[in-house]
Structure 1
Amino acid sequence: MTPGFNDEQRGGDKSLNPIYIKNPHLDLMKEDILYHFNLGTATHDLPAMFGDVKFVCVGGSPSRMKSFIQFIAGELNLGNPTDEYPNICAGTDRFSMFKVGPVLSISHGMGVPSISIMLHELIKLLHHARCIDVTVLRIGTSGGIGLKPGTVVITRQSVDASFVPQLEQIILGKKVLRSTELDDTLAEELLQCSKQLNDFETVIGNTMCTLDFYEGQARLDGAFCSYTEADKQGYLTEAYQAGVRNIEMESTAFAAMCKLSGLQGAIVCVTLLDRLEGDQLTSSHDQLHDYQLRPQILVGTYIKKKLNAV
């Protein structure tokens, strides 16, 4: 039996604990300090601050997540998009967090280690705040494979650099493999929202998560490179044949931790270039800015639709 897959997939009694925390040690703690958020159960009234959260949007850049909360405030008529929204995590420089109505916007930094730290504390935050029916959406940028720049990819499965849908972790010196399946229904709902918008091309495909931006993604422009252009093209073609349509560095951790916690999750990333055509960005600043808005627009449309349906 694959380590980590058996008991961790069963979930728990969600009627008693909507956000599934599997850590008996937390019950023995007088206080839970969410260090990287500068929040804690003894210092903050987490249910009062976050109990109404229904949607959490996460992305790498603090400025992008601030931009998103301004955008969604306008979309939901909960504030002026030009207003300043306070950073709830202002006491730390690790992550940024913004909130308007039922929407929480949080930066997660770059790479699996950074997003996994953020998600541990986010999941505990939602648990302590007694949130229910929460949807978590990662919005970001990526490199495409066989897609024109600006195409938005909704992740079907997150796969590792060997195209296997799993997150591999070393825990107590032992290899633990965790499933990276995402919610198919949510992915289809997002795709339908994009079709209704009809503003940009959107596809559902597998997303490859790597541990590095250069050699791990078969780039030729890093400080080190021990392979040829033909090697690169062969690897990326193999990835495409495995259903991979984009590459980034957080999706396996995101998908695995959503599944473990029982959170409904989706990943929506825009492609900034086709990696089969090159490694460096050649689009103009204005064009890249337009591309980066597309995941925000799609996710904002989805949130607005879901809230209007309530």
Structure 2
Amino acid sequence: MEDVRSVPCCSPVGVENPHLDKMKEDVLYHFSLGTKTHNLPAMFGDVKFVCVGGSPWRMKAFIEYVAAELSMEDPKSEYPNICAGTDRYAMYKVGPVLSVSHGMGIPSISIMLHELIKLLHHARCTDVTIMRIGTSGGIGIEPGSVVVTKTSVDATFQPKFEQVILGKTVVRNTDLDESLAKELLQCGIELNQFHTVVGKTMCTLDFYEGQARLDGAFCSYTEKEKQDYLHKAQEAEICNIEMESSAFAAMCKLSGVRAAVVCVTLLDRLKGDQLSSSHEVLQSYQQRPQILVGYYIRKQLNAKVKPC
């Protein structure tokens, strides 16, 4: 597997679209930002870490947490939403850290990533690390465990992301940065606050039938068939299930940035489909990915890095 750390220092965020060079203006519509209306290099040129997650509320909580962790907290600051001109996504920034919501599912995160990658490219950002933090359903592991994704697989357990483009199916690689995953695992060991593992993550197109749940509006299979499927997933070394990792992995790999998926498991799907833990317990679980990623960012910024 490719080690992205071998990329030369000051590696830019890549885009593979020759049409962009011919455009007089690039409007990042779903961010309410643009190359003519905003000075993107001035606003975002110092970004080194981007953290994305489904909920706008969660991503604001994350930037507040990181600000405190990095001792950048301003008591007077309310960390305004940079994308306040739209209701699609939310974006917050403190120092070199950008926090962006992506909604739920592959279509939503794909739209966000297209515009995020272009934003980082237009801002001339270099050596960027992008991490998705979120929640998931575990397979045979204790609720509250944090899974750092090694590779994302589809619902047939294959490590690929398929997309139909111009009527043709395009298949893209879904491996994530191996060295980054190891670094995050080491951070989990150093924190020693919760169980952290590296494993495969299954990315589905649906929350109910696509994840073998029995509690949706429709269900065409039995409890035994569900259990057989999930046990096969476990045998394939799949640790958890969510709905964004394959598109995230494929798009980050195309752009040449280091990327990781860090998700906490809210339940063990082998034991049930619905969340029964208290609100307080679930809240504490949801904070674990941000604790791990916040620790990683602080550790990286505190490390002595030779200037480019």
Give deviations 1:13-60, integer Å, cap 9, x for gaps: 988971111100000000000000000000000000000000000000
Q: 1:150 matched to which residue of 2?
A: 144
Q: 1:241 aligns with which of 235, 243, 246?
A: 235
Q: 2:281 aligns with which of 248, 270, 287?
A: 287
Q: 1:6 matched to which residue of 2?
A: none
TM-score, reference length from structure 2: 0.95
Q: 2:253 aligns with which of 255, 259, 270?
A: 259
CA contact (8 A) 2:152 2:202 kept: yes
Map 1:100-139 onto structure 2 (within 5 A).
Answer: 100-139=94-133
User: CA 1:81–1:282 in 2, change beyond 3 Å: closer, same or farther?
Assistant: farther
Q: CA deviation at 1:228?
A: 0.2
- Establish whether residue 213 from structure 1 lines up as the match of residue 203 from structure 2: no
Map 1:263-278 onto structure 2 (within 5 A).
Answer: 263-278=257-272
Q: 2:178 aligns with which of 172, 181, 184?
A: 184
Q: 1:204 aligns with which of 198, 220, 236?
A: 198
Give deviations 1:62-105, integer Å, cap 9, x for gaps: 00000000000000011147841100000000000000000000
Q: 1:98 matched to which residue of 2?
A: 92
CA contact (8 A) 2:10 2:126 kept: no
Q: 1:5 matched to which residue of 2?
A: none
Instruction: Report the aligned-residue RMSD.
Output: 1.3
The residue type paired with residue 153 of structure 2 is V
Distance 1:28 1:73 in 2: 38
The residue type paired with residue 64 of structure 1 is R
TM-score, reference length from structure 1: 0.94
- Establish whether residue 86 from structure 1 lines up as the match of residue 70 from structure 2: no
CA contact (8 A) 1:159 1:208 kept: yes
Number of residue pairs aligned between Structure 1 and Structure 2: 298
Distance 2:255 2:222 in 1: 42
Secondary structure of 1:25 counterpart? helix
CA contact (8 A) 1:158 1:208 kept: yes
CA contact (8 A) 1:140 1:268 kept: yes
Give deviations 1:116-174, integer Å, cap 9, x for gaps: 00000000000000000000000000000001110000000000000001100000000
- Establish whether residue 226 from structure 1 lines up as the match of residue 220 from structure 2: yes
Distance 2:69 2:164 in 1: 42
Distance 1:25 1:151 in 2: 44
The residue type paired with residue 97 of structure 2 is V
Q: CA deviation at 1:210?
A: 0.2
Map 1:166-181 onto structure 2 (within 5 A).
Answer: 166-181=160-175
User: CA 1:81–1:246 in 2, change beyond 3 Å: closer, same or farther?
Assistant: farther
Give deviations 1:178-214, integer Å, cap 9, x for gaps: 0001000000000000000000001111000000000
CA contact (8 A) 2:9 2:127 kept: no
Give deviations 1:251-272, integer Å, cap 9, x for gaps: 0000000100001000000000
CA contact (8 A) 1:71 1:81 kept: no
Distance 2:288 2:75 in 1: 17
Structure 1 residue runs of 5 or longer lacking an equivalent are 1-12
Q: 1:36 matched to which residue of 2?
A: 30
How many percent identity over aligned positions? 71
The residue type paired with residue 87 of structure 2 is D
The residue type paired with residue 170 of structure 2 is V
